[in-house]
């Protein structure tokens, strides 16, 4: 037993996941502390408008930069001397970011008034959303390079700094100056701009931005990122578009209740994302070595993790509703019935994240895109069907079903591209070694 505990303590996966989880908890705690303040200074309808802004940012985030920050992360494992060679590749990604953003502006500006009517969002926020998505790309690019280099402290420090800045600016604009929706969205955007400037500086300081770029790198990054656009759009339909449907069908009040429930369930999101950030570099190293013993170990860890996620979901059904009322106030009590189902959906999302990494490793992202877009469409159909009978809770039911389907299909596809010894007996699980 002592030997097993020593191995756990020395495991890069456990250590990394612990650091990511710790910093992510701190990062999530800051906006969580802001939640009771905002729910008392913003009406549910105003909270709904903030939610719709995030719907818009999630949608255009698929196009702004073409998701090639993920290509920069994957490229790290292909280079023998990544610290010296990554600069030109990252600069190539920045060229794609600028080009795709300009194209997006050319498309959106002439029809921004129509988009505004469709979403029920002010036209100025339609354009501000593009700036927000642009800044998010830069921040994700910097953080992604820390992730692959196993530097979770740096990753977490930038996360926490952004949240602290967002907290401070929002308190001033929403509470002190009582600017309402303008203060909240404007504060988040200003925070994104300032954090992205810091991200660019840190990339330049670490010599990860060069004065030159390569055409072949632009093509390589685009070939990785462009097939992911349907994947991101599918994720948008799966994870975000429900808020737009709720706002349109049930009203902005219902969208406000729903987004508060999403923020409470976000505790689960923090956990699964934190584990995955530590898990990706750890997994890719072992897949590259292609050792059967290590693959069996990976499978065992995956099964144990699945069990823990389901256990947390069961606990969520008991405590999450009362917890929401305690945090957000009785005015948002309609959200209490939504939270436990969103927690269960995030458990299934944790399942999915564990298996989708194999598809990313194989670089077969077009299949991942197809799966996500199909499950995203399924989610939209289910949301439209279920909210008529169950209200906003129906959208949470839809999320659970869609995420379970997404996991099952991705699990099947992932094993085709990167076969793993999934047929591990229950007895073998008792011999788990990390």
Half-sphere exposure of 146 (CA within 13 A, CB side): 20
- Per the domain annotation, does 418 fall within a domain? yes
Q: Residue 432 and residue 434: Cα distance in Å, rounded?
A: 7
Q: What is the DSSP string of 55-88?
A: HHHHHHTTTTTTTTHHHHHHHGGG-TTHHHHHHH
Among the three residues 226, 246, 268, which one is the final residue of a domain in this structure?
226
Predicted model pTM:
0.69
Residues 58 and 149 in one domain: yes
Residues 296 and 165 in one domain: no
| The pLDDT of residue 7 | 47
| The pLDDT of residue 152 | 79
pLDDT mean over 138-164:
88
- Per the domain annotation, does 341 fall within a domain? yes
275 contact partners, CB below 8 Å, separation of at least 6: 17, 20, 21, 305, 350, 353
Residues 351 and 410 in one domain: yes
Q: What is the CA radius of gyration of the chain?
A: 21
Question: Is 90 exceeded by the pLDDT of residue 126?
Answer: yes
Residues 378 and 262 in one domain: yes
Q: For residue 310, name the pLDDT band (cuts at 50, 70, 90).
A: very high
261 contact partners, CB below 8 Å, separation of at least 6: 324, 335, 336, 338, 339, 342, 392, 396
Residues 169 and 263 in one domain: no
pLDDT digits (tens, 9 = 90+) for 252-285: 778 778 888 888 887 788 788 878 877 888 898 8
Range in 116-125, 178-187, 400-409 the model is least confident about: 116-125
Q: For residue 13, name the pLDDT band (cuts at 50, 70, 90).
A: low
Residues 218 and 265 in one domain: no
Q: What average pLDDT does the structure give for the chain?
A: 84
Sequence-ordered alpha helix ranges (H) in 290-364: 292-328, 339-362
Residues 191 and 332 in one domain: no
Q: Residue 299 and residue 195: Cα distance in Å, rounded?
A: 38
Question: Is 80 exceeded by the pLDDT of residue 430?
Answer: no
pLDDT mean over 91-97:
92
Residues 18 and 48 in one domain: no
- Per the domain annotation, does 234 fall within a domain? no
| The pLDDT of residue 270 | 77
Domain that holds residue 431: 1-22+257-434
- Residue 126 in contact with residue 115, Cβ under 8 Å? yes
Q: Residue 39 and residue 36: Cα distance in Å, rounded?
A: 5
Percent of the chain residues past pLDDT 70, beyond the cut:
91
- Per the domain annotation, does 70 fall within a domain? yes
Range in 202-206, 239-243, 313-317 the model is least confident about: 239-243
pLDDT mean over 301-323:
90
Residues 115 and 219 in one domain: yes
| The pLDDT of residue 14 | 63
Residues 219 and 325 in one domain: no
| The pLDDT of residue 8 | 44
Q: At what angle do helices 180-205 and 152-170 cross, to 10 degrees?
A: 150
| The pLDDT of residue 17 | 60
Residues 16 and 58 in one domain: no
pLDDT mean over 42-53:
81
Domain count within the chain: 2
Q: For residue 5, name the pLDDT band (cuts at 50, 70, 90).
A: very low
Sequence-ordered alpha helix ranges (H) in 109-214: 112-119, 123-148, 152-170, 180-205
**Residue 313 CA, distance from chain mean position:** 19
- Per the domain annotation, does 78 fall within a domain? yes
Collapse the DSSP code of 347 into the 3-class scheme (helix H, G, I; strand E, B; otherwise coil) and give the result.
helix
Q: For residue 425, name the pLDDT band (cuts at 50, 70, 90).
A: very low
- Per the domain annotation, does 233 fall within a domain? no
């Amino acid at each position: 037993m002592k030997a097993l505990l020593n191995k756990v303590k020395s495991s890069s996966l456990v250590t990394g996941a612990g650091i990511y989880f710790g910093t992510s908890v701190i990062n999530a705690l800051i906006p969580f502390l802001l939640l009771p303040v905002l729910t008392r200074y913003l009406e549910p309808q105003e909270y709904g408008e903030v939610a719709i802004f995030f719907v818009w940012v999630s949608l255009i985030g698929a196009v702004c930069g073409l998701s090639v920050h993920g290509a920069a992360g994957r490229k790290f494992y292909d280079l023998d001397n990544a610290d010296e060679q990554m600069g030109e590749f990252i600069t190539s990604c920045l060229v794609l970011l600028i080009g795709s953003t300009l194209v997006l502006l050319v498309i959106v500006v002439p029809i921004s008034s129509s988009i505004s009517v469709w979403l029920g969002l002010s036209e100025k926020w339609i354009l501000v959303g593009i700036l927000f998505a642009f800044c998010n790309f830069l921040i994700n690019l910097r953080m992604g390079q820390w992730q692959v280099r196993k530097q979770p402290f740096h990753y977490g420090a930038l996360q926490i700094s952004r949240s602290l800045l967002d907290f401070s600016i929002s308190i001033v604009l929403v509470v002190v100056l009582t600017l309402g929706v303008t203060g909240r969205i404007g504060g988040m955007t200003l925070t994104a701009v300032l954090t992205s400037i810091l991200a660019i500086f840190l990339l330049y300081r670490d010599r990860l931005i060069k004065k030159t770029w390569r055409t072949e790198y632009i093509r390589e990054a685009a070939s990785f990122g462009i097939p992911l656009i349907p994947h991101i759009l599918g994720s948008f339909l799966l994870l975000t578009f429900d808020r737009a449907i709720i706002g349109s069908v049930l009203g902005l009040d219902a969208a406000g209740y729903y987004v508060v429930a999403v923020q409470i369930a976000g505790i689960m999101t923090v956990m699964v994302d934190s584990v995955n950030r530590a898990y990706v570099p750890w997994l890719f190293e072992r897949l590259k070595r292609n050792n059967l013993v290590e693959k069996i170990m990976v499978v065992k860890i995956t099964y144990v993790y699945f069990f823990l996620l389901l256990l947390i979901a069961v606990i969520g059904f008991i405590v999450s509703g009362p917890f929401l009322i305690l945090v957000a106030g009785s005015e948002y009590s309609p959200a209490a019935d939504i939270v436990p189902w969103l927690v269960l959906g995030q458990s299934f999302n944790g399942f999915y994240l564990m298996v989708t990494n194999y598809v990313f490793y194989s670089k077969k992202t077009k299949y991942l895109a197809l799966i996500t877009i199909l499950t995203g469409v399924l989610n939209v159909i289910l949301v439209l069907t279920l909210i008529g009978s169950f209200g906003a809770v129906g959208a949470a039911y839809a999320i659970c079903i869609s995420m379970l389907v997404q996991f099952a299909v991705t699990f099947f596809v992932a094993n085709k591209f990167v076969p793993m010894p999934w047929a591990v007996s229950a007895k073998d699980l008792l011999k788990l070694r990390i």
